[in-house]
Structure 1
Amino acid sequence: MSKIEITAPMPGVFYTKSSPDSEVYKKPGDPVRKDDIICLIEVMKTYNQIVSEHVGTFVSYEVENEELVMVGQVLAIIEVD
């Protein structure tokens, strides 16, 4: 098994869930399918969905919720077969 890093395609504010009352998109051990939403990045009041391009198992978020991120920063890690 190998690990894949999901990186930020844009700078902005990182979110692990769609609203303060919602569950996080993924928890460690959750299955990940292609096009699953992993997180959001807010840029100028626009929320951009960051989706998986891989199938595997969610390992971890590498950024805290509501933290500023930069282009190329690792957001999450997925383990693939």
Structure 2
Amino acid sequence: MGQRRRSGGSRRERPVKAKPCVFHKEDITYVDYKDYNMLRRFTSDRGKIRARRVTGLCPQHQREAAAAIKRAREMALLPYVAGQ
């Protein structure tokens, strides 16, 4: 008996609407490592830096936010990992 082939056809996915960059929207020119309340928005509950597709930041501000988070961790303003 012959085997049926499934058509692997392409799925139609909805186009994802890009989020506006928070820093452009709020007209923030400098990503400050001391503003840990703002930086916590870009980290997960485990303390990891969130991806750009999740945060909605532009590439330049994503790099600046990642560097600011790393500085804040070094200064013990943000944790490296979440507490248990």
Q: TM-score, normalised on structure 2? A: 0.24
More helix by share: 2
More strand by share: 1
Relative contact order, CA 8 A, sep 6+: which one is greater?
A: 1
Larger radius of gyration: 2
Q: TM-score, normalised on structure 1? A: 0.24
